[in-house]
Chain A
């Protein structure tokens, strides 16, 4: 199969929906074999079915990304089935919009575990597997957020977890580079993208602000993006594809911001 990531093997977490599904499908379209993981089983399998329908190769594995033992199983199952691991897209994430005053310690841990701890475990286990590729190395792509770079009042624990994810990405990139691994680690920072997670954020924000006008809030969000529209999952998937491919072989520890100009202001 030809393509920009032909012959590579990828794991995409949180690939049952949204950005993760688009990324898994994009990588498969460009020649990668993809391990689709998610907590959501029927929709995760649906991603695999969509890839297969397009002539690609993929398998679904159920995964809680905060479970260390499960990460080891996922990587070892990937190696058993496909023989190697070249790409990890740490994409699984959660978001429950709460201000610092409203957030409970449980809310805090919920975000830090799913968005930061999961990424740490995935990155560490992937490095272990990618080291076996020798000079071919690997590419780890972490879905962070514009809210990992700037703050937003309704998302205190989310912002914290994404800030952790962003700077952890750089630390891991420096380690891999200095260790001579040729394993690149980069962050992608989406602005508001139309996904089930964003719909949840919209709902939470309406509750927090005591509003019931969802259309007005979508319009507000759109207007915060100078480009005049919200993102689509494929906008992010194309950036992931670039970072996953050997085209980006001199890119590591970098922030790929795909946000319609949100942060440039």
Chain B
């Protein structure tokens, strides 16, 4: 247990698994009190248990991030339990891979809603809560993607939603800065990270291309697109999130933290 965010209260959405879960665990290890939110109640509660077992403090709140009323309830629950909000990690998201030609409108709307509407609502209601801090302040961390900066043929709607997150983040950062709030808003851009979300995509590739194993698919399909020679692990992204959540990054706002093994540098 260290103390880089000690005394801070953080919400992490999509924290039942993958990057969200690891971010919640790392923030707790560094001294924050956590609200774990997710649609998945069982895994969300197990994330809380893992933090509590390690000596941290956390609660679970069931959360559909596309539902505005639910956002108000989540923030209220956090303020009631912990009395303040300092950090939010808008991590909940989905990935469905289709090219522009193969993307039905329903799928577009679903991806934009879960990946982008959620970040808008999370940022809006977090600002409202963080304005109550005395002095006013906080750190909002929006999980975009390398595919929010560059395109990828098979992920039309996903690329759109993550591009929306990136530039919305800058707009919100400017608003907060110019309003004198000391609320920082930044985006994080992971490359491919091995999580349950990408596991689905990997399994599809294994089937589609007849690979013998997930490891083979990873090595042949995804490792080569990352110059560092491997795909990411949730801890790689979680460590960047701790940096953005902490006061160490207090001069950083409206910025893109790219954690992608060199993918977008090419």
Residues of chain A touching chain B, judged by Cβ–Cβ distance below 8 Å, are 170, 173-174, 177-178, 180, 182, 184, 191, 225-229, 231-232, 235-236, 238-239, 241-242, 247-261, 263-265
Contacts and interface: CB of A to CB of B under 8 A. Distances in A.
A253 B265 contact: yes
Which range contains the number of B residues in contact with the other chain?
35 or more
Given A242-B243, A250-B228, A254-B258, A191 B173 contact: no
Pairs A-B, 6 closest by C-beta atoms? A264-B254, A253-B265, A226-B177, A177-B227, A250-B236, A235-B251
- Interface-central residue, A232, A235, A242, by most chain B CB under 10 Å: A242
B266 A239 contact: no
Q: Which of A184, A239, A241 has the most CB of B within 10 A?
A: A239
Contact of B227 (A191, A229, A252, A265): A252
A220 B254 CA distance: 20
Given A227-B177, A247-B243, A177 B229 contact: yes
A263 B251 CA distance: 13
A53 to B, nearest CB: 23
Nearest to A252: B262
B251 A258 contact: yes
B227 A248 contact: no
23 contacts: A177-B229, A177-B262, A178-B229, A184-B228, A191-B251, A227-B253, A235-B250, A238-B243, A239-B248, A241-B248, A247-B239, A247-B243, A248-B236, A250-B259, A250-B261, A251-B240, A251-B261, A258-B255, A261-B170, A261-B173, A261-B174, A263-B254, A264-B173
Contacts of A258: 249, 251-252, 255
A252 B184 CA distance: 24
Nearest to B167: A264
Interface of B: 170, 173-174, 177-178, 180, 182, 184, 191, 226-230, 232-233, 236-237, 239-240, 242-243, 248-262, 264-266
A18 to B, nearest CB: 15
A230 B42 CA distance: 46
Contacts of A259: 251-252, 255
Contacts of A263: 254-255
Contacts of B260: 250-251, 254
Given A174-B266, A249-B236, A251-B258, A257 B252 contact: yes
B172 to A, nearest CB: 10
A215 to B, nearest CB: 20
A174 to B, nearest CB: 5
A181 to B, nearest CB: 9
A261 B177 contact: yes
Given A227-B253, A256-B257, 13 more contacts: A174-B265, A180-B229, A182-B228, A239-B249, A241-B248, A247-B242, A247-B243, A248-B239, A248-B240, A250-B233, A252-B261, A261-B170, A261-B173
Nearest to B251: A235
A260 B251 contact: yes
Nearest to A170: B265
Contacts of B229: 177-178, 180
Nearest to A225: B177
Contacts of B170: 261, 264-265
A144 to B, nearest CB: 13
A173 B173 contact: no
A180 B261 CA distance: 12
B258 A173 contact: no
